[in-house]
């Protein structure tokens, strides 16, 4: 591995190169490299530099606010936080997952599939496809969805429409595309109407076809660039995720499964309410994001990766036929028990998008989805843990409340946090293997971002600490003329541009 | 022939004893308001119903309708003033609509939309106020109280109790609970009391019911506050 590049021995005379901000990811982060006189990389780090603080300011609020309040962590996958919090507060009203009304359970799954579908589509088409289609070191003018729309208009439009479809699923279930309501303690607040169901059914076959095509596309991109794609940013790691009782791929509810790099099971079907007995977090001085690890293996060796690659690696099969065929092909390509290629995250992600499309169709054709028995109630409890597989990986929400229903303690382990070590290792691998010793140019530095982007990190969700968002303030007079401009850079420096 | 006043140039009939607000509502003319409720004695504290009567500023909810009144209501000047008043109500408390369970059912939010309030304008006070969740079924989030006194009046005039009061003056004004401990749990407030349901903002809430009404079915999802107000208060004024 490349841990020796986390901290350079002698930093005095090293040259510093900064990639700031890391672009086409959610949230704000930067990469720093320290180079010696021969441009050899001596240190490489991914820093997360934002402030969130949700765990603190939800204290003192009533528990039923949680699903709506914490989803504001993110505008890309708010549904993940909404549902993880809802699963936790189900327990506060005495409702375990198996006691949730069938219709509520299916509505939440539909909501979640819609969420995964749109988030994965956003990531692949809007954020990553420019790298994959034009090359990692292509001209900066090509590295955006606009360029994709110009060169591959059909593909670009398809990506935009796939994301839109996922957002429409969310809107039908929760009332809004972003930050709706829907899940409440013990169930859901409305059924899917027949009109809403029929509206979503109209386009689902097209979505399945486009999902199949996107899997074929990523396979072609990946396999036509071997062995580069198998090696770039690749690290051997442990993997963690939820799993169905029969070992099938699962996003909404299941036990925790972890496997090591050889594919040996480290733990299986673990009750996630006891996550604290298995997972701890380590803090390092140079980043605001924590480093989770499996307690049994310690912080050195216990770090793991989550997300699409982990889920497809960990599961025994997928319970929808087309996605399952894609999974079998994916695993066969790897040639060993686990696929470690970091760029294979993209391939795994699109297999999941296909599974989501197939699953949405099944749920829409299920009469339970329009059922009106939506809320269950039980005995009050004082602690709840909700865990789901968010688009970016396993997401933990843990709350304690007092006798007045007020939140007294909260702990969130967000998916991207679990990939912190993985992303840093991948950055170091790329820095060591692809950049070290070369004259650094802007396109070359994009390689670092490509490695980070493969994980689809959501840095705004994952951080817990104070940071410096870039900010631009413009003072415009009544005629629309710019009078003054104040710019706050990522390093916190404030500058002024005056236009008299 | 009935007596009339004019509001924005239109003749509006009134009966002796009616306020300008009552006459206007009965005639289908909306005057923005928050502390006014047709079932309770007017309080005149929110100042949102400020109108100009023969050139003089008055609160429509407290000012009696009288022959010869030329009332200005829907003017740019008054709308601007009302928007500023609403902005001040927002910045004095902690009103975070995105996560508040009253969103879509909140009169303060709805009146802000009605007045085209696009920002807070004034610096936020960020007061540090308490949440009292001690009562089994009702909670008070003091951060959202706008001191309209509707809960005070409802408790006294409708419920036959005396659970709430306003204490302090000016910027130090605050809602207090009439119990030795100062907590809601030590009062005789019941979740079925009118006082527990009258709050125009999200300050007084029935516990464990938040977000149960889906988006699309909330009071102001499809109608603005002027329509809702005229439809629901017209009958009450006529009684």
User: Does residue B108 share a domain with residue B48?
Assistant: no
User: Does residue B24 share a domain with residue B58?
Assistant: yes
- Whether residue B54 is contained in a domain is answered as yes
Domain A54-421: top CATH class:
mainly alpha
Q: For chain B, what is the domain count?
A: 2
- Whether residue B233 is contained in a domain is answered as no
User: Does residue B136 share a domain with residue B182?
Assistant: yes
Q: Please provide residue B56's backbone torsions phi and psi, each rounded to the nearest 5 degrees.
A: -110, 140
Asked whether the beta carbons of residue A62 and residue B216 sit closer than 8 angstroms, the reply is no
User: Does residue B207 share a domain with residue B142?
Assistant: yes
pLDDT per residue as tens, chain B (239 positions): 589 999 999 999 999 999 999 999 999 999 999 999 999 999 999 999 999 999 999 999 999 999 999 999 999 999 999 999 999 999 999 999 999 999 999 999 999 999 999 999 999 999 999 999 999 999 999 999 999 999 999 999 999 999 999 999 988 899 999 999 999 999 999 999 999 999 999 999 999 999 999 999 999 999 999 999 999 886 555 44
Above 60 in pLDDT, residue A488?
no
Which SS3 state, helix, strand or coil, does residue A412 take? Answer: strand
User: Does residue B119 share a domain with residue B21?
Assistant: no
Residue with tokens 């609970």: B177
What average pLDDT does this structure show over A214-223? 96
User: Does residue B134 share a domain with residue B215?
Assistant: yes
User: Does residue B169 share a domain with residue B53?
Assistant: no
Q: What is the pLDDT of residues A257-269, one digit of tens each?
A: 999 999 999 999 9
- Best residue in A58, A83, A184 for a mutation probing chain B (most B CBs within 10 Å): A184
Asked whether the beta carbons of residue B212 and residue A189 sit closer than 8 angstroms, the reply is yes
Q: Please provide residue B75's backbone torsions phi and psi, each rounded to the nearest 5 degrees.
A: -120, 160
Residue with tokens 């820095």: A431
- Whether residue B172 is contained in a domain is answered as yes
Domain CATH code at residue B50? 3.10.20.740
Tell me which of B40, B74, B108 is where a domain ends.
B74
pLDDT given at position A183? 98
Asked whether the beta carbons of residue A405 and residue B131 sit closer than 8 angstroms, the reply is no
pTM here is 0.90
User: Does residue B106 share a domain with residue B193?
Assistant: yes
Question: Can you tell me the distance from the alpha carbon of A251 to that of A259, in angstroms, rounded to the nearest whole number?
Answer: 17
User: Does residue B204 share a domain with residue B129?
Assistant: yes
Domain extent at residue B157: 96-226
User: Does residue B210 share a domain with residue B102?
Assistant: yes
Among B134, B208, B215, the residue with its CB nearest the CB of A181 is B215
Question: Can you tell me the distance from the alpha carbon of B176 to that of B154, in angstroms, rounded to the nearest whole number?
Answer: 15
Chain A's closest residue to B216, CA to CA, is A175
User: Does residue B36 share a domain with residue B132?
Assistant: no
Domain CATH code at residue B192? 3.30.70.20
Domain boundaries of chain A, sorted by first residue: 3-49+435-462, 54-421, 471-500
Among A72, A181, A406, the residue with its CB nearest the CB of B214 is A181
Report the gap between the CA of B100 and the closest CA in chain A (Å).
Answer: 8
User: Does residue B162 share a domain with residue B44?
Assistant: no
Interface of B with A (CB under 8 A): 98-99, 101, 131, 133-134, 139, 207-217
């Amino acid at each position: 591995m490349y841990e020796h590049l986390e901290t350079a021995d002698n930093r005095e005379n090293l040259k510093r190169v900064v990639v700031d901000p890391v672009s086409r990811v959610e949230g704000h982060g930067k990469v720093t490299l320290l180079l010696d006189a021969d441009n050899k990389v001596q240190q490489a780090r991914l820093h997360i530099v934002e402030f969130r603080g949700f765990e603190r300011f939800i204290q003192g609020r009533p528990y039923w606010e949680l699903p709506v309040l914490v989803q504001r962590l993110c505008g890309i996958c708010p549904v993940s936080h909404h549902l993880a919090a809802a699963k936790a507060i189900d327990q506060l009203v005495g409702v375990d997952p198996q006691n949730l009304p069938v219709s509520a359970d299916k509505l939440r799954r539909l909501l979640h599939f819609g969420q995964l579908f749109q988030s994965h589509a956003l990531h692949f088409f809007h954020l990553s496809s420019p790298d994959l289609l034009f090359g990692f070191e292509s001209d900066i003018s090509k590295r955006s969805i606009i360029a994709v729309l110009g060169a591959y208009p059909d593909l670009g439009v398809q990506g935009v429409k796939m994301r839109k479809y996922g957002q429409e699923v969310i809107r039908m279930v929760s009332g809004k595309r972003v930050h709706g309501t829907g899940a409440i303690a013990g169930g859901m607040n409305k059924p899917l109407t027949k009109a809403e169901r029929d509206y979503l059914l109209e386009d689902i076959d097209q979505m399945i076809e486009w999902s199949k095509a996107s899997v074929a596309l990523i396979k072609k991109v990946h396999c036509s660039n071997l062995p580069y794609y198998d090696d770039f940013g690749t690290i051997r790691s442990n993997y963690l995720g939820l799993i169905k009782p029969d070992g099938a791929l699962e996003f909404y509810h299941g036990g925790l499964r972890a496997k090591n790099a050889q594919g040996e099971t480290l733990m299986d079907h673990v009750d996630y309410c006891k996550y604290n007995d298995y997972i701890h977090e380590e803090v390092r001085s140079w980043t605001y994001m924590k480093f989770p690890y499996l307690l049994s293996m310690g912080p050195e060796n216990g770090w793991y990766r989550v997300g699409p690659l982990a889920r497809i690696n960990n599961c025994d099969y997928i319970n929808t036929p087309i996605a399952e065929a894609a999974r079998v092909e994916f695993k066969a390509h790897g040639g060993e028990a686990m696929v470690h290629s970091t760029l294979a995250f993209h391939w795994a992600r699109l297999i999941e998008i296909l599974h989501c499309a197939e699953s949405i169709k099944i749920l829409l054709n299920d009469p339970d989805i329009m059922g009106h028995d939506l809320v269950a109630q039980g005995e009050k409890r004082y602690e709840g843990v909700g865990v789901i597989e968010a688009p970016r990986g396993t997401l933990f929400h843990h709350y304690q409340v007092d006798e007045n229903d007020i939140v007294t303690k909260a702990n969130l382990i967000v998916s991207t946090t679990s990939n912190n070590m993985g992303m840093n290792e991948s950055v170091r691998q790329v820095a060591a293997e692809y950049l070290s010793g070369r004259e650094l140019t802007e396109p070359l530095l994009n390689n670092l971002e490509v490695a980070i982007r493969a994980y689809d990190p959501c840095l705004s969700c994952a951080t817990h600490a104070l940071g410096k968002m870039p900010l631009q303030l413009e003072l415009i007079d009544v005629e629309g003329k710019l009078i003054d401009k104040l710019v706050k850079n990522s390093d916190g420096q404030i500058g002024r541009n005056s236009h008299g | 022939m009935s007596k009339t006043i004019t509001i924005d140039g239109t003749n509006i009939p009134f009966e002796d004893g009616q306020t300008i607000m009552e006459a206007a509502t009965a005639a289908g003319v909306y005057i923005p308001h928050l502390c006014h409720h047709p079932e309770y004695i007017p309080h005149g504290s929110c100042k949102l119903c400020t109108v100009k009567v023969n050139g003089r500023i008055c609160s429509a909810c407290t000012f009696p309708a009288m022959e010869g009144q030329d009332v200005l209501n829907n003017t740019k000047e008054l709308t601007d003033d009302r928007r500023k008043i609403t902005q001040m109500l927002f910045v004095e408390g902690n009103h975070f609509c995105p996560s508040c369970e009253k969103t879509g059912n909140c009169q303060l939010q709805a009146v802000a939309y009605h007045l085209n309030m696009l920002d807070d304008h004034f610096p936020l006070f960020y007061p540090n106020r308490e949440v009292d969740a001690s009562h089994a079924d009702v909670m008070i989030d003091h951060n959202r109280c706008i001191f309209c006194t509707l809960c005070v009046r409802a408790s006294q005039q409708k419920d036959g109790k005396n659970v709430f009061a306003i204490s302090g003056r000016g910027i130090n004004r605050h809602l207090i609970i009439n119990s030795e401990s100062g907590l809601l749990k030590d009062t005789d407030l019941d979740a079925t009391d009118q006082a527990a349901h009258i709050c125009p903002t999200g300050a007084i809430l029935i516990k464990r019911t938040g977000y149960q009404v889906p988006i699309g079915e909330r009071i102001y999802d499809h109608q603005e506050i002027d329509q809702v107000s005229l439809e629901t208060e017209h009958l009450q004024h006529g009684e």
